[in-house]
Chain A
Amino acid sequence: MAVTRTETLPIRTGDDVVRVRQRVRALAVEIGLGLVDQTKIVTAASELARNTLDYGGGGDVMAEIVQAGARLGLRLTFDDQGPGIADIEQAMTDHYTSGGGLGLGLGGAKRLSNEFHIASMPGKGTRVTIARWK
């Protein structure tokens, strides 16, 4: 699998979350994702960007256009140096929230993506990677 392009966007404010959505939408269009798939990855990105901001204390997202054979994909990696998640299984459980949300962001982002990977170290930070393939 080859990475054909990479860009990084900051996630420090609510406006940054809006910008991440817009940029992800543009990249999804660029690789030819249909309207439904665009909406899926944009919504997943919105969830993860807001978690990065609200729980991770801010961070950034790396967006990559990836290619495997003839297939193009969009891969997004959200990184923060926040408190981390002690119990990932619990965090992934639908309706679990520590911040008065719906508790559907992480599980939803997983269901909206073709690939989902989460790694977290308490005290160090959290990294969530998703991908959507054409």
Chain B
Amino acid sequence: MHGAELLRKVVVDDAGGIRDAWLAILAAGMTAHGGRAREGELRTQAGIVVSQLGEGLAAGDLDADGSGFAPLRETLADISRSRALQGFTPTDTANFVFSLKEPVFEALGRACGSGSPDLATGVVSAGKLLDRLALHTMETFLASREEVIGRQGQEIAELSTPVVRLWDGILALPLIGTLDSARTGVVMETLLQAIVDEEAEIAIIDITGVPTVDTLVAQHLLKTVAAARLMGADCIVSGIRPQIAQTMVHLGVELNVVSKATLADAFAVALRRTGRKVVRQQAPTEERR
């Protein structure tokens, strides 16, 4: 019998048996991973995969990349994508398809009896087909993982540029880490938007957490300060460490803004400029004695 034909007959005729044996294997593997995939969901997925495998084989083809298997590839892609989002490991995901081999091989054995030459061809065909489908699943899984990682990178870029409202009309932007072009764009937009939203008069840009101030960073700072000015806010730069100050002098960059050693100093200036003053209501008890 033709490899594809035998395989199709077995997969179609014995679909229920294959699915249940497969689920048993998947369930056994799952316990180690805290049962991430819910059992009902897994059952539905397994049912669909086995029936679409039968349909693909019915097209008379063993080519996993052919049109007959397009629906199955789509299903596997969906499953691996959702697994990538749920944080499954690559091994878990690869095993999902690989573990289908054993039940299929067993079903072939039941259908033709051991020692039959048909069994050997059937097993080889099934093995090749399932390997190819597993690879396809992994490719989708990895592509989805990369997407997830890329998005996380963007989220971090946005997260690490919080604009803090210190007081009415006084904002602070503590910059932390490398100011590459992608992040700087986000930083600038976030700050300008906050200036508009808060009707801020003063924005304090704190660079304590910026490891290197080179000409590119300096230029970004200058542009931000200029844009803030156009929105009606003055900037104060704080947290320029001594070694950074020296380096900036050698580079020849001048920020032409008020700068203060610490965020606290800058805040004091901002309060004064907006006509406020912090006073101690009462001397601390130790001093009164």
Q: Residues of A at under 8 Å CB distance from B?
A: 14, 18, 21, 25, 35-36, 38-40, 42-43, 46-47, 50, 94, 101-102, 104-105, 107-108, 111-112
Contacts and interface: CB of A to CB of B under 8 A. Distances in A.
A43 B216 contact: no
Nearest to A42: B212
Given A46-B212, A101-B215, A111-B252, A40 B247 contact: yes
Contacts of A42: 211-212
A47 B243 contact: no
Question: Among the interface residues A21, A35, A43, A50, which one has the most CB atoms of the partner chain B within 10 A?
Answer: A43
Main secondary structure of the interface of A (DSSP, over half): helix
Main secondary structure of the interface of B (DSSP, over half): helix
B218 A43 contact: no
A37 to B, nearest CB: 9
Given A18-B180, A104-B253, A111-B252, A46 B247 contact: no
B247 A43 contact: yes
B114 interface: no
A104 B252 CA distance: 7
B250 interface: yes
Interface in B117-137: none
Given A14-B180, A39-B243, A111 B250 contact: yes
Given A14-B181, A43-B251, A104-B252, A36 B246 contact: yes
